[in-house]
Amino acid sequence: MSQNPSVLHTVLDAVDIRALAEFYRRLLGLVYRPGDEPPGDPAPDDGDWLVLTRPDGTRTLAFQHVEHLERTTWPAPDVPMQLHLDLTVPDLAALEEHHARALALGARLLLDRSDDPDEPLYVYADPAGHPFCLFVAEPATEDLDHLVVDGRDLTVQRAGLADVPAIVGLLRDDPLGAEREVEDPEPYVAAFHRIDSDRSHLLVVVRDAGGEVVGTMQLTLLPGLSRSAATRLQAEGVRVSPSERGSGLGAAMFAWAHAWGHERGASLAQLTTDLSRADAHRFYERLGYVATHAGLKRPLD
């Protein structure tokens, strides 16, 4: 069986979605998905869909505009509670697999929009009659920012599955990586899904104007109790393509990564680098990293 569907967020219907979103944003300490913030005057605030996330970007609640909403009379049974779950799967094959599972588990099909090329989707009633949706998630690739390095425009993106071969190519194109990486793509694809499904991780690719992957790094937010409950930003798998090295791209990637971590509450950045990488040590020291600790590793057999 492929990976189980995951809950993307819970969707609440409302006539005034801004008012409801504001209520939950304040009550739960959430933030708007970029682009969903209240528009400044005089722009109209007339969207029909808003999303709130945790500060780390994890989706939590969405709000769907409706013209009329009959208030639930709960606990009286006349008008029941109204909300629905959105469940996502990565591709069409998984959609069909989990469609069959949902029906087998007792879901009743309410809407079949599985032939929609943009968002193949089914809507069901769960056994208690609550509607829920199962659909193929939007492509995982997501523009995060633009960098100008040495006069060139580069795009910072959340890596998608299609980027995995290029990332592994960069990891391998290195004296240490050449020894460590395997030919079989399967473990990399499985690892990609584990990383991508956890919003504490961000696998980054940097693309040039032609769409080529010229840099990568994996960022992780590590919550902790020590250091007055500091959140750490951990960087791993940092690579700039050989043709781009020395252009300032590595420094620009780290400036971006530090800002990404800081915005999400990290107060300390940390990394390890092989003792043989003298150039990389110089690079990190220039970025303000200090070798205050010894990094120890051992294989787990």
Ligand X SMILES: CC(C)(COP(=O)(O)OP(=O)(O)OC[C@H]1O[C@@H](n2cnc3c(N)ncnc32)[C@H](O)[C@@H]1OP(=O)(O)O)[C@@H](O)C(=O)NCCC(=O)NCCS
Q: Which residues bind ligand X (CB under 6 A)?
A: 174, 238-240, 244-251, 273, 277, 279-280, 282-283
CB atoms near residue 292 (< 10 Å) = 6
Q: Of 101 and 277, which has the nearer Cβ to ligand X?
A: 277
Cβ proximity of 136 and 182 under 8 Å: no
Shortest distance in whole angstroms from residue 154 CB to ligand X:
11
Contacts of 144 (CB under 8 A, 6+ apart): 156, 157, 158, 204, 260
To the nearest whole angstrom, how small is the minimum distance from the Cβ of residue 282 to ligand X?
4
In angstroms, what is the minimal distance from the CB of 268 to ligand X?
A: 17
What is the CB-side half-sphere exposure of residue 34 using CA atoms within 13 A?
6
Q: How far apart are CA 21 and CA 8, in angstroms?
A: 17
Count CB-CB contacts under 10 A for residue 217.
Answer: 24
Furthest C-alpha separation in the chain: 72
Q: Are strands 152-158 and 142-149 parallel, antiparallel or unpaired?
A: antiparallel
Nearer to ligand X, 104 or 294 (CB): 294
Indicate the residue among 90 and 250 with the shorter CB distance to ligand X. Answer: 250
CB of 189 to ligand X, least distance (A): 23
| Closer of 54 and 277 to ligand X (Cβ) | 277
Closest distance of CB 180 from ligand X, Å: 12
Smaller CB separation from ligand X, 80 or 246 = 246
Long-range pairs for 240-248: beta carbons < 8 A, 24 or more residues apart: 240/170, 240/214, 240/215, 241/170, 241/173, 241/212, 241/213, 241/214, 241/215, 242/173, 243/214, 244/214, 244/215, 247/149, 247/150, 248/149, 248/150
Q: Which is nearer to ligand X, 155 or 273 (CB)?
A: 273
With CB atoms as reference, the residue minimizing the distance to ligand X is: 250
CB of 289 to ligand X, least distance (A): 10
From the CB of 238, what's the least distance to ligand X, in Å? 4
**142: Cα within 13 Å, side-chain hemisphere:** 11
The dihedral through the CA atoms of 168, 221, 202, 135 has a sign that is: positive
Of 132 and 284, nearer to ligand X (C-beta) is 284
CA distance 164 to 159: 8
Q: Coil, strand or helix: which one is 173?
A: coil
CB of 146 or CB of 282, closer to ligand X = 282
Least Å from the CB of residue 264 to ligand X: 22
